[in-house]
Structure 1
């Protein structure tokens, strides 16, 4: 898996964020039985930048903890068969052949505030946000209670598989 991580904040987390992002992203891909090598981009940034991105792409003028920008138009979450049709070439990097899953943006301030609010570590909060976003990149959502329960269950299992608990 090719993961490009950009850190655009003067606020340093002081945790091995690259290692956490990589192991959670890989475990989520493994959990979903993704048959491809994949590429994602992860931006760790501040609340101001997250607010800009949220306003620009979702038309919501507020900060948020994580934004997901999927590249694949999944019909159903985790159904990689959509990539077998004749249009699927647009989902793969022309040079590497990696599946272009999409981009993730995470607020460093939200990692801190939510870890404190939920009474767990910065590592666990970052891992949760990455797992959450990875499932969005693989076509899952939480628009209704049923979808939310499915997605939450998958996130929990990925974190449990890695021994990352509250």
Structure 2
């Protein structure tokens, strides 16, 4: 797995965010049975930057905790079978499946960790798990979709011992 991380946020985090992001991403991929090596891009940013991206890409002019930009379109969430038929899904140099981009607002992540009563490691891990599921075609637009996604997020974090 290639995990490209761009750090736009200036203040240091007090945990190994790179190792945690990779660990959660790998668990999510294994949990969903992804048969390919993958490429994922992660941007850690501030409030102004994520608000600008949210406005540009979703027409929502406010700060959010995380944005996910899947590179693939799925007929069924978590079904990677179609990728074999479409070479454009794979990086031409590495052969890795290009899943997409994740953008996390560090100040919002830190605020949520406090307000939910758990640590930054748990909140960061949750946001990675949540975004990985989006990159694999899951969504939470209906109560049924939300229930599926929430169950998968919880199990991924539980498997890693990342609890509240």
SS of the aligned residue for 1:57 comes to: helix
Alignment correspondent of 1:64: 64
SS of the aligned residue for 1:100 comes to: strand
Residue 81 of structure 1: CA displacement? 1.2
Q: Name the Cα RMSD after superposition.
A: 0.6
Alignment correspondent of 2:112: 114
Q: Structure 2: how far apart are the matches of 1:144 and 1:11?
A: 36
Q: Structure 1: how far apart are the matches of 2:161 and 2:101?
A: 25
Residue 3 of structure 1: CA displacement? 0.2
Alignment correspondent of 1:47: 47
Query: Normalising by the residue count of structure 1, what TM-score does the alignment of the two structures yield?
Result: 0.97
Q: Structure 2: how far apart are the matches of 1:151 and 1:110?
A: 21
Alignment correspondent of 1:124: 122
Alignment correspondent of 1:153: 151
Alignment partner of 1:98 is 2:112: no
Query: Normalising by the residue count of structure 2, what TM-score does the alignment of the two structures yield?
Result: 0.98
Gaps of 5+ in 1: none
Q: Structure 2: how far apart are the matches of 1:76 and 1:63?
A: 30
Would the aligned equivalents of 1:77 and 1:139 in 2 still touch at CA under 8 Å?
yes
SS of the aligned residue for 1:77 comes to: coil
